[in-house]
Amino acid sequence: MRAKTTARACFALSLIAATAAAQAAPFERTEQRQACADYDPLRRPFFGDLHVHTALSFDAATQDTRNRPADAYRFARGERVGLQPYDDNGKPLRSAQIDRPLDFAAVTDHSELLGEVRICLTPGMEGYDSLACIAYRKWPRLGFILFGGDVLAADAPQRLGFCGDGAALCLDAALGPWDEIREAAEAAYDRSSACRFTSFVGYEWTGAPDTRNLHRNVIFRNAAVPSLPVSYIDAPYPSQLWEGLEAACRSSVTGCDFLAIPHNPNISGGLMFLDHERDRPAFGRDYADRRRRDEPIVEIMQHKGESECKTGVGTSDELCGFEKLPYDRFGGQFDPRQVQPPTRTNFVRNGLGDGLLLEGKLGVNPFQFGLIGSTDTHLGIPGAVAEDRHQGHGGAGPIRGDGRPIGLPDNIEFNPGGLAVVWAEENSRDALFAAMRRRETYATSGPRISVRFFGGWQLADDLCSGELARAGYAGGVPMGGELPALPSSAAPRFATLAMRDSAGAPLQRIQIVKGWQAGDSIEEAVYDVAGTPGLGSVDTATCKISGEGHDTLCVVWTDPDFDPSARAYYYARVLEAPTCRWSTHICNEQGVRCDDPSTIPDNGAGCCDDRYPKVIQERAWTSPVWYKP
C-alpha cells in the first residue's frame, strides 16, 4: 500500500511540475503585443491554412484572380469575397464565404515572378510593352507556360529578358508586392488580448525542375523579415534556400526566424524524399541536420491531392487510395505524355520510413517531420474546404446567368484541400510558430476534427476517463515528439483522443500506423485501435448520411509487436463515416444522369468518370511520435 501511495504522490508532483514549467516558459516571446486573455498551458487546437495564393501570383493572375492579400485575410476571418468571372463593370459573378473563421493563415504567393507580374500588369512601367508582357496579358495560357515553364521548370532558372541588367527592374518592381504582403499580414494580425486571428508573413519558393514539384512555403515567425524573398531563381536547390534564408533572415535581420514547409510531394516526380538533391551526390549529416531543423513539418493534404501513401507503391494499405492524382508531376496535368507512374519517394509515409534508415547511417533523421494540411487556393480563399460548397481553387469554368458554374468548377481529380492544425497555448505568432517548430501539429482533409496523440512508456489504462492531456504531457510526449529512453522490459503506449467536427460526419475509427526498421528495409503495420470499420453510410443520390458513428473516440493502446532494437515511428489516422465527394454534390445539384448524355454539361464529363469515387472518408493525420534504440 505504501508503494502505491508513493507512486501516486510522485505522479501528482510530476503533473504539477509539468504544468508549472509550461506556464513559466512554454515558448520564447519575440514581439510586442498584448497578452492573450485566453491562455491554456495544456494547449488548444488552432485551425488554419498556410498555403494561399492571390492576384500577386503569376498563375493566379492568368486565371483572373483579383483577390489580393488583404482580401484573403478578410475571407479567413469570415467575410465574403467575390470570385471570377467578372462582368464588364468589374463586378464578380460569384462569391464565397466560410461558415467558421480560421484561427490563422499565411498568404504564400509565388516569390519568383512578383516583380515581373507587376511590370506586365502596370501600364507605364518599363518592360510593360515587352513581347513577354504582351503575351502574358493577351494570351493568359501562353503567359502561364512562358513564365512558369521557362523559369520555374528550368534546372537553371533565369530572369526574363525585360528584367534588365542584373534583373534590377524586376527586383525593384518586386518590392511593391512584397510590401503589400507584409502590410496585409500586419493589418490582419489581432494584437489585442482577444487574439482572434493570427497572420504570418510568408511566400512560396517554387522550384519545379522538369515540372517535378519541390515547392516550399516559407513562414516567418514575426514581422522581422528579409527585404525580399529568397526565390528559386536565387537558390535553385532546397539547401540553397535554407542557406539563403540563413543569410538574409537570421544573420541579417534582428529577430528574424523562419521554417520551410515542403508541399505536394505526390507530384514531385519522386524527388521530394530522395537521399540526395536531384543531380547531386547523397547528402551527409550537415544536410540532414539542417533539413530536420529548417523543415520541421510537411504538407500531406491539399487541393492537388493527398500525399500520405498510395496503395501498391510501398504499401498494401487499402485506405491509401484517398484523393490521388493520376500523374506524378505538374506536367502530367497538361500533357499526357508526361504522365509517369508514381514512385515511393512521392509519398510521406515512405519518406518517414526512409528517414529511419538515414538516421542509422547519418546519426540524424532528415525526414523527421510533422504533418499539416492546407488548400493551395489560387483564388485567395483560405480554408474553403467544404465538400458541399466547393467552387474550385484554380479558376472558374463556364458560368450560368445566376452566377453558378455550368458543370464542374475544377478538375475532377482535384479536391477542396485540407487544414493545418496546431496545438498551442494561445493564438499568437510566437506560440503557433513554436508549436510548428516542435511538430505538435496535425492535418485534416477539411473537417475540424480535434485529435490528441501522446506516446509514453507508462501511460495509464484509464487515461480516457481522466485528464488525458495533463497526464499525457506529464508522462509522455505529444505528437511530433521522441519517446524518452527505453525502460527495462516495456513496450510503448499511445493515447489517442478524437472528437468529431460538430458540423461534420460522425467518426468511424482510429488507426495507428507504425513503420519500423528491419535490417536495410522498412516494414509497416496499420492497427485499428478504436471504433469499428464499416460504420455509417451515405445515399449518393441525396448525400444524406445515416447509420452509427461516434462523437468521441479515445483509446490507450500498447504496441503488441514492439522490437526494442528497431527504430520506429507511429502516427494516428482518424476516419469519419462516409460522405459525398464534392463532385457528387455538384453533379446531383445539376441533375446529371450518366445514362442520359443530354444531362451532362460541357464542363461536367467528370461527373461520369468512374476513376473518381462518389463517396469519400474525410480524415485526420497526426504528426508521428518516434522511437530510437
User: Cβ(322)–Cβ(619) under 8 Å?
Assistant: yes
C-alpha cell at 293: 531543423
C-alpha cell at 448: 475540424
User: Cβ(272)–Cβ(265) under 8 Å?
Assistant: yes
8-24: per-residue pLDDT in tens? 444 343 443 333 334 44
Taking the CB of residue 219, how many other CB atoms lie within 10 A of it? Answer: 22
Domain membership of residue 129 (yes or no) is: no
Please give the pLDDT value at position 28: 94
H or E stretch at 526: strand 521-531
Q: What is the mean pLDDT of residues 465-475?
A: 95
Q: What is the mean pLDDT of residues 527-550?
A: 97
The Cα 59–Cα 191 span in angstroms is 33
Peptide bond into 281 cis (omega under 30): no
Q: What is the mean pLDDT of residues 257-278?
A: 97
H or E stretch at 105: strand 104-107
Neighbouring C-alpha atoms within 13 Å toward the C-beta of 339: 8
Identify the DSSP state of 399: B
Does residue 557 carry a pLDDT above 60? yes
Domain membership of residue 485 (yes or no) is: yes
Contacts of 315 (CB under 8 A, 6+ apart): 309, 349, 350, 524
Please give the pLDDT value at position 23: 42
Does residue 493 carry a pLDDT above 80? yes
pLDDT bin (cut points 50, 70, 90) of residue 5 is very low
519-529: per-residue pLDDT in tens? 999 999 999 99
Contacts of 5 (CB under 8 A, 6+ apart): none
The Cα 307–Cα 50 span in angstroms is 16
Q: Which of 10-14, 103-107, 399-403, 554-558 has the lowest mean pLDDT?
A: 10-14
Does residue 182 carry a pLDDT above 90? yes
3-state SS class at 99:
coil
DSSP3 helix / strand / coil % (the chain, rounded to 5): 30, 25, 45
28-63: per-residue pLDDT in tens? 999 999 999 999 999 999 999 999 999 999 999 999
Domain membership of residue 493 (yes or no) is: yes
Does residue 102 carry a pLDDT above 80? yes
Domain membership of residue 229 (yes or no) is: no
Comparison of pLDDT for 224 and 490, the residue scoring more:
224
pLDDT bin (cut points 50, 70, 90) of residue 319 is very high
Does residue 26 carry a pLDDT above 90? no
Strand partners, 612: none
278-297: per-residue pLDDT in tens? 999 999 999 999 999 999 99
C-alpha cell at 18: 509539468
Backbone angles phi, psi at 107, to 5 degrees: -80, 125
Domain membership of residue 543 (yes or no) is: yes
Does residue 605 carry a pLDDT above 80? yes
User: Cβ(516)–Cβ(571) under 8 Å?
Assistant: no
The Cα 527–Cα 517 span in angstroms is 17
Domain that holds residue 591: 448-629
The Cα 591–Cα 616 span in angstroms is 20
Domain membership of residue 578 (yes or no) is: yes
Which of 68, 70, 75 has its CA nearest to residue 54? Answer: 68
Report the percentage of the chain scoring pLDDT > 70: 95
The Cα 446–Cα 431 span in angstroms is 23
pLDDT bin (cut points 50, 70, 90) of residue 323 is very high
Domain membership of residue 601 (yes or no) is: yes
Does residue 439 carry a pLDDT above 90? yes
Q: What is the mean pLDDT of residues 463-482?
A: 96
User: Cβ(69)–Cβ(180) under 8 Å?
Assistant: yes
C-alpha cell at 550: 461516434
Contacts of 580 (CB under 8 A, 6+ apart): 387, 388, 538, 540, 543, 588, 614, 615, 616
At which residue does the C-alpha cell 460569384 appear? Answer: 94
Please give the pLDDT value at position 4: 37
Domain count, the chain: 1
User: Cβ(478)–Cβ(468) under 8 Å?
Assistant: no
Please give the pLDDT value at position 464: 95
User: Cβ(81)–Cβ(67) under 8 Å?
Assistant: yes
pLDDT bin (cut points 50, 70, 90) of residue 403 is low
The Cα 106–Cα 198 span in angstroms is 9
Which of 157, 82, 73, 147 has its CA nearest to residue 116? Answer: 147
3-state SS class at 317:
coil
Which of 427, 374, 622, 443 has its CA nearest to residue 27? Answer: 427
Contacts of 172 (CB under 8 A, 6+ apart): 115
How does the average pLDDT of the chain come out, rounded?
A: 93
3-state SS class at 395:
coil
Report the percentage of the chain scoring pLDDT > 90: 87
pLDDT bin (cut points 50, 70, 90) of residue 435 is very high
Q: What is the mean pLDDT of residues 422-431?
A: 98
Domain membership of residue 418 (yes or no) is: no
